[in-house]
Structure 1
Amino acid sequence: MNHEANGRILLVDDDAVFNQVLGRALSTRGFEVRGAHNGKEALALCAEFKPRYIVLDLKLGTESGLGLIPSLNREVPDARILLLTGYASIATAVEAIKRGAHDYLAKPVDADQVVQALLGNSVQQQAADLKLPDAPPPLKRLEWEHIQRVLNDCEGNISEAARRLGLHRRTLQRKLAKRPVRETPPR
């Protein structure tokens, strides 16, 4: 698989090891890869490198990858943006697409999944191949997604989100510290 014509990828993740490992794997697949660890580095590299593809992490230390998407789109309007996150939720996926991301994947991911998503074969194809679950998602999962949606609406302000949810701030912080509930119970 060779992608020389438009094969420039910018990886934006605060985890240097993840950036290095994924970058090496994508390089072996024929892509030219550069890495950034924060929004400032990413925008500077976009101006210089002009990537065709951008792989962006949702959490960049204290920054949010969601907030960086519009700036990246202004800098390289033709770039295809893939948002990665370790805390996947429907609310975050919808917000990422609204802000200009082209696709969204939950970590852990491998290089082949990233390549498929960058080339436009991920979410649409997977949605066509998926069977709907027999049961609705667990109530705890729905609660977690609702909390994520409200927190996103509050631009990450825990106190404001807690007020809107009718929770004490510490209670909300405890709920946020927990990992999200799985979509389907393990078999």
Structure 2
Amino acid sequence: MTAIPELNNYADRSLLIVEDDKPFLDRLSRAMESRGFSVTACDSVTDGLAHIGKAAPAFAVVDMRLGDGNGLDVVSALKRQRPDARAIVLTGYGNIATAVTAVKMGAVDYLSKPADADDVVAALLAITGEKSEPPQNPMSADRVRWEHIQRIYEMCNRNVSETARRLNMHRRTLQRILAKRAPK
């Protein structure tokens, strides 16, 4: 069990959560409220930007891919309004390039979904420069491979032939992979 940093060290406990997966948004909002945060939940980039325009929060948890845009736009706007704000990015499509981009835009950490509330709190409150502990149950190599294939498939507008070409994979092999359930 990892030690969770103290929220009591922060006077402003306002937290903006921007996530388009409604059940996950509700669960995370309740969990963060129970840990002492004052939560505002938004389900789109537009709503998140509007809230930041009214009152920039001290903390933010933002999904990378939202229905109406990129969550990094929310992080960027937050850092412009409130440079001391601490934001983390959540995504189901993790890769090194997007993690680097998120950190360059001002995020303090980058977590893969599903992340539990304790991991989110630890990332939000981690001392700058201090590395957070690795997750207790990281994604398996098979799951990471499956996520990568799904991301490329979506980027190719669900075109199997184009996805197979970009992945340097036989089309039938890709079709078999896509037909299976996601590994754990």
Aligned mates of 2:65, 2:44 — CA distance in 1: 10
Q: Does 1:31 align with 2:37?
A: yes
**In the TM superposition, what is the alpha-carbon distance from 1:58 to its structure 2 partner?**
0.8
Pick the aligned partner of 2:113 from 87, 91, 107: 107
Residue among 15, 18, 27 paired with 1:9? 15
Which residue matches 1:50?
56
Distance 2:72 2:111 in 1: 13
Structure 2 distance, partners of 1:50, 1:71, is: 9
Alignment of 1:13-162 (within 5 A): 13-120=19-126, 124-126=131-133, 141=145, 144=148, 158=156
Contact 2:17–2:60 (CA under 8 A) maintained in structure 1? yes
Unaligned segments of structure 2, at least 5 residues: 1-5
Q: Render the CA deviation track for 1:83-142: whole Å, top value 9, x for unaligned.
A: 001122122211211222111111111111111000025971326x99xxxxxx79x95x
Contact 1:43 1:75 in 2 (8 A): no
* Structure-2 separation of matches of 1:49 and 1:71: 12
Offset at residue 2 of structure 1 (A) = 4.9
SS of 2:110's partner is: strand
Cα 1:48–1:62, aligned 2, differ >3 Å: closer, same or farther? Answer: closer
Q: Cα–Cα, structure 1 residues 37 and 59, in superposed 2: closer, same or farther, change >3 Å?
A: same
Distance 2:7 2:78 in 1: 25
Q: CA deviation at 1:77?
A: 2.1
Count of matched residue positions in the alignment of Structure 1 and Structure 2: 160
The answer to whether the 8 Å contact 1:52/1:79 transfers is: yes
Normalising to structure 2: TM-score of the pair? 0.68
Q: Percent identity?
A: 36
Distance 2:114 2:100 in 1: 20
What is the root-mean-square deviation of aligned Cα atoms in Å?
Answer: 3.9
- Residue deviations 1:124-166 (CA, integer Å, cap 9, x gap): 1326x99xxxxxx79x95xx49xx7xx8xxxx9759xxxxxxx
Structure 1: segments with no counterpart, 5+ residues: 131-136, 160-167
Per-residue deviation, 1:11: 0.2
User: Partner of 2:57: helix, strand, or coil?
Assistant: coil
